[in-house]
Structure 1
Amino acid sequence: MRLGYHSITWGGVVGEAAGVTSAKDLYYRANGSMAEAIRDIGSAGYEGVEMFEGNVADYADEPEVLRGMLAASGLELVSVYTGANFIYADALPDEMSKVTRSADLAAEFGASHLVVGGGARRAAGTARGDYDRLGDALDQVVEIAEARGLTASYHPHLGTIVENPDEIEEVLSRSRIGFCPDTAHLAAGGGNPGELVRSYPDRVRFVHLKDFRPDPVTFLPLGHGDLDLADVVSAVREAGYDDWLMVELDSYDGDPRAAAEISKAYLDELLG
C-alpha cells in the first residue's frame, strides 16, 4: 500500500460563496497555499496527494503549473474530493454537473479516485426516501467516474445522513458505490472503524486515515488519539485492499508539515 496525504490541513476546508445561490458552483477547497501543501507533503515522504475539487479547478486554465508542482515534489494526484446534498430533486442536475466537472479535472490530472461525501440532513429531519434518493444519486456518481476511468467511493461524514453504522448500511445497501472508510468520522459517528471495514470487505475502494479523541471531538495526527489504527490496517489487509492509504487531517494547531511528518513516521513504523 502506498501513502498519500490530503492538502486540507493547509488552511482547512471552506466552500465557494457562489454555492449559496448556485449549486453547480459549490466547490470544496482548502483555504491555503497548494504550492506549499504539495511541497511539504512531498518533503515528508509521501508519494501521493488528495485535493479538493475547487483547488484542482484553480489550475484548469494552467494545468502545466499543477503538473509541474507535483513533479517537482515527486507526487502524483491520487484522488479528488467532491460532494453534494444529493437528496433534493430540483438541485440534483446542477449538483451532478459539478460532480462531472470534478471528475473531468481528476481524470485530466491523472487521478485514479473520486471521493464523494454528502447526503443532506434536513432541518425538519431525514425524510422517508432520502436514502433512496442518495443511493440513486451515488449510482450516477459511479457512472460519471467509470466513464472517466476513475473509481468512486463514498465517504461517511459527520453532519450528513450517513454518520453511524446503521446509516452506513442504509446507503451502501442502496448503491454500488465503493466505501471509503474515514477512521475518525466512523468513530465519531459511533462505529468501530476496524469492524466496519470487516463488515464491507468487498466494498472498500479507498481509505482515509486520521486519529480521533472523543471528548471533545478532536481529529489528530496518527498515533496521537485513541483509535486502534493497527486494527484498521489489519482489517484493510484482510479485505485484500492494496491501494492508497490517504491521511486526511482536517486541521492542526501548528505547522501542517509537522503533522504530516508525525503521521508518516507512525505509518512507517506500523507498516514495517
Structure 2
Amino acid sequence: MSAQGAAGTDGRERIAPSGAGLVGQVFEGNVADYADRPGELLSLLEETGLTLVGVYTGANFVYPDVLPDELAKVTRTAELAARFGAERLVVGGGARRAAGTREEDYDRLGAALDKVVEIAEAHGLDSSYHPHLGTIAESPAEVEKVMARTRIGFCPDTAHLAAGGGDPAELIRRYPDRLAHVHLKDIDLTTGEFLPLCRGSLDFKSVLDAVREAGYDSWAIVELDAYDGDPKDAALVSRAYLDRLLG
C-alpha cells in the first residue's frame, strides 16, 4: 500500500514537494490552471519526481437542467487528468436541496455516476465516488442508497465518513469489491476540526486492516481539509505515523 500525498489546507492541492512524500491527487482547478500550458506542469512533475495519481472533481448531479453542463465539466476534468498522466478520476457531489432531499435524487445521482464511469473509461481512467459532508451521501444509510444505484468505485474518506456518523473501517468492509481509492484523513469528532493523522479521533489501524482485508494494495492519499498549523509539519506528522503503522 502506498500512503503518500498531502492536501493543501486552503482547499487546493499543492503541486510541489511537501517534504513528506509524493503528491498523489489534485483538484480539477489545479489541472485547469495548466490547460493552456501543459508542458509547464509536465515539466514540474518530472523535475520534482512527483506522481499525479488522481484528480478530484465534484458536481451537484441531481438537477436535470444543469446536468449536461456538470457532465461537461467532468469530461473536461477527465481529459486533463489523462493528459497529465493521472490514473484515477475521483468525484464527489449530489446536492442537498434546501427544501429537503427527495428519494429520486438518489436515482439521479446513481445514473449520473454511471455516466461518470463511462467518461472515465473513455479516457483510460478508473473512477470512484467520494461520500462527502454537505451532500446527500453523509450517513451510512445515505451512502448505501448511492452505492446501490451505481457501479462506480468507492473512495472512502475516513474523516467525512466518521463525521457523517459512520465507522470508516466498517464501511470499507461493506464494499470490499468496490474499493478503488482511499483518502486517509483525521478529525476530532468533538470539535469537527481536521487534524494530522493520529491527532484526532479515528482508529487508522482498524481502517488499514479493513483496506488490507479488501485486497486493496494501491494508493492511500493523506489529506487535511483545513488546519491552523504548518502544512509541511502536518504532512510530516502524518507520514511518520503511517510509517509506523505500515512498517
1:190-241 alpha-carbon deviations (Å, 9 max, x no partner): 0000011001100110000011111211111101011100110010000000
Choose from 176, 195, 201 the match for 1:201.
Answer: 176
1:130-185 alpha-carbon deviations (Å, 9 max, x no partner): 00000000000000001111111000001100001000110000000000000000
Tell me what 1:220 maps to: 195
Q: AA paired with 1:39?
A: A
Tell me what 2:66 maps to: 91
C-alpha contact (below 8 Å) 1:112/1:151 kept by paired residues: yes
C-alpha contact (below 8 Å) 2:17/2:50 kept by paired residues: no
Tell me what 1:128 maps to: 103
Tell me what 1:160 maps to: 135
C-alpha contact (below 8 Å) 1:2/1:47 kept by paired residues: no
C-alpha contact (below 8 Å) 2:15/2:26 kept by paired residues: no
Q: AA paired with 1:209?
A: L
Tell me what 1:40 maps to: 17
C-alpha contact (below 8 Å) 1:5/1:248 kept by paired residues: yes
Alignment of 1:1-272 (within 5 A): 1-9=1-9, 12-13=10-11, 30=12, 37-41=14-18, 43-44=19-20, 46-272=21-247
Question: How many positions carry a matched residue from both structures?
Answer: 247
1:48 deviates by 3.6
1:17-39 alpha-carbon deviations (Å, 9 max, x no partner): xxxxxxxxxxxxx2xxx6xx333
The two structures have a TM-score, normalised by structure 2, of 0.97
Q: Which runs of 4+ in 1 moved over 2 A?
A: 6-9, 37-41
RMSD of the alignment, in Å? 1.1
How far, CA to CA, are the matches of 2:233 and 2:40 in structure 1?
A: 25
C-alpha contact (below 8 Å) 2:16/2:23 kept by paired residues: no
Q: AA paired with 1:47?
A: L
Q: Secondary structure at the match of 2:176?
A: coil
Higher relative contact order (CA 8 A, sep 6+): 2
Q: Secondary structure at the match of 1:190?
A: coil
- How much identity, in percent, do the aligned residues show? 63
C-alpha contact (below 8 Å) 2:15/2:23 kept by paired residues: no
How far, CA to CA, are the matches of 2:153 and 2:82 in structure 1?
A: 18
1:56 deviates by 0.8
Q: Secondary structure at the match of 2:52?
A: strand
The two structures have a TM-score, normalised by structure 1, of 0.88
C-alpha contact (below 8 Å) 1:78/1:112 kept by paired residues: yes
